[in-house]
Structure 1
Amino acid sequence: MVSYNTKDWFTFIFRFHKADTFRKLIPIMLAIGIYAGSVGYLEVEYWQLSDTNYIKNITIMHGMLGFVISLLLVFRTNTAYDRWWEGRKLWGALVNNSRNFAIKLDVMLKDENDKAFFRKMIPNYASVLHIHLHDSDTGKQLFDNLDLKIDHQKHKPNQVAKLIFEKMNELHLQGKISGDQLIVLNNEFMSFTDICGACERIKNTPIPYSYSAFIKKFVFFYVMTLPFGYAFSLGYYVVPVVVFIFYVLASLELIAEEIEDPFGDDENDLPTRKISENIKRHVEELI
């Protein structure tokens, strides 16, 4: 995740990093600039259309559709951010529940070997969950007509959770923890699987295809029609204007695409590896 000073305006304006949308859009922005210049040349210089030509009124359509496209993009980015923030809350809950689990176990258990087991396995769950969520196959489990390798392997976070519960049950049978203590521990233990399932829901349920495809088509055709109307009033200045409008609209869509899956390897995705390392350090301090 990018570390930055939220109050440093000039850094934001003049600094470009590898996740910046400007870098990704440069090729298509150049193509759109050439397209806009060509349309402006044909209308103003080659065909010499007058200001009274009906094609100039196409700007009325842009005014009406501009409001619609802005609403769609706002909903798109808000939906993507909600997924990102939900992922962050889930991993925050994993941190807190791991700490609570470790605190209770440290008080209840007296045998050092038992403590060593949980000192290792609680952080292991977070580490394995991090690896599981970064597996590309995890994000495709609900796709139709795909024979995924992951379907033929055991669910790794579930295997770690099973080992933890087997140890808890063994300690109960040995009389090292009582039935009441087992119930107290159960809430934190159950939360591990709940968090895993919620993260998988975010990972393998993308924005519906039809909605995402429609926004991209809408932005493309909206921008492609801009030079026809504005070439009369802007002349060749229509080139930077159209390119800038495309940059703004397409950047919003790219940002939404990047953050809607917070468990990937993009620059602004959640630092789950770092969080899992923090869990390991905190658990080792407590047990």
Structure 2
Amino acid sequence: MTSYNPKDWFSFIFHLSKADTFRKLIPVMFFIGIYCSGIAYLEIEYWALPEDSHVKNISIMHGMLGFVISLLLAYRTNTAYDRWWEGRRMWGNLVNSSRNLAIKLSAVLTDEKDRTFFRKIIPGYASILNKHLKDEETGKQLFDDVDLEIDHHKHRPNQIAKIMYQKIQDLYSAKKISGDQLIILNNELTSFTDICGACERIKNTPIPYSYSAFIKKFIFIYVLTLPFAYVFTLGYYVIPVVVFIFYVLASLELIAEEIEDPFGMDANDLPTQKISENIKKHVEELI
């Protein structure tokens, strides 16, 4: 995740990061600029359309649809951010669950072998979950056109949770923990699987295709019709104006695409690797 100072305005204005939408959109912006140049030349020089041409009235459509496209993009961005924030909240819960389990085990366990086991296995769950969520197959489990050969032994977070639960049962069978302590520890272990399931729900349930495709088509058609009307009032200045409008609208869609899957490798995705490392450090301090 990109580290930055939110109060340093000038660094935002003049710095181009790897995640900046401008460099991603340069080829399309170049195409839009050429397209606008062609429309402006045809209307001003070739066809020499008069000021009272009906083509000028296309701007009425843009005025009516501008509010609609702003609502769609606002909803799209908010929905994507909700997914990003829920992912962060789940990993915050994983940090708390790992700490709580480590605190309770540190007070219960007296055998150093048992303490060493949990000192390794608890942060191991976070590390394995991080790799599991970055696996491309995890995000394809619900796709209709993808036939995955499901091997439950490959679901590594479940295997780690199973090992921890089996160890807790062995401790109870060996009379190292009481029945009440077993119930308390079992609740902590259950939260690990709940967090994994919530993260998988975010990972393998993308924004509905029809909604995402409609917004892209809407932006493209909206921008392509802009120069027809505004060439009458802006002349050749319509070229940079339309390019800038496309940059703003397309950037909002690109930002939403990037943050709707918070477990990827993009610059603004969640630092799950760093969080798992912090869990390891905290658990080792407690047990």
TM-score range, shorter chain: over 0.9
For 2:72, the equivalent position in structure 1 comes to 72
Given the superposition, is the C-alpha separation of residues 23 and 149 from structure 1 closer, same or farther in structure 2, using an over 3 Å criterion? farther
Give the CA deviation at 1:80: 0.1
Q: State the Cα deviation string for residues 251-283 of structure 1 (Å, max 9, x = none).
A: 000000000000000000000000000000000
Query: Which SS does the other structure have where 1:180 is aligned?
Result: helix
Output the CA distance in 1 between the equivalents of 2:67 and 2:85: 27
Alignment of structure 1 residues 1-287 onto 2, 5 Å: 1-149=1-149, 151=151, 153-287=153-287
Output the CA distance in 2 between the equivalents of 1:243 and 1:149: 46
- Give TM-score scaled by structure 2 length: 0.99
Given the superposition, is the C-alpha separation of residues 34 and 151 from structure 1 closer, same or farther in structure 2, using an over 3 Å criterion? farther
Moved more, 140-149 or 98-107: 140-149
Give the CA deviation at 1:154: 2.6
Q: Is this contact kept in 2: 1:140–1:204, CA < 8 A?
A: yes
Give the CA deviation at 1:145: 2.7
Specify the code of the residue in structure 1 equivalent to 2:7.
K
Specify the code of the residue in structure 2 equivalent to 1:174.
A
Output the CA distance in 2 between the equivalents of 1:48 and 1:150: 65
Q: Percent identity?
A: 74
Output the CA distance in 2 between the equivalents of 1:180 and 1:11: 56
Specify the code of the residue in structure 1 equivalent to 2:144.
D
Aligned length: 287
Q: Is this contact kept in 2: 1:137–1:150, CA < 8 A?
A: no
- Give TM-score scaled by structure 1 length: 0.99
- Runs of 4 or more above 3 Å deviation: 149-153
Q: State the Cα deviation string for residues 212-270 of structure 1 (Å, max 9, x = none).
A: 00000000000000000000110000000000000000000000000000000000000
CA RMSD between the two structures: 0.8
Output the CA distance in 1 between the equivalents of 2:150 and 2:281: 30
Query: Which SS does the other structure have where 2:154 is aligned?
Result: coil
Q: Is this contact kept in 1: 2:77–2:252, CA < 8 A?
A: yes
Output the CA distance in 2 between the equivalents of 1:245 and 1:239: 10
Query: Which SS does the other structure have where 2:188 is aligned?
Result: helix
Give the CA deviation at 1:146: 1.3
Q: Which runs of no fewer than 5 residues in structure 2 stay unpaired?
A: none
Specify the code of the residue in structure 1 equivalent to 2:41.
Y
Output the CA distance in 2 between the equivalents of 1:85 and 1:114: 36
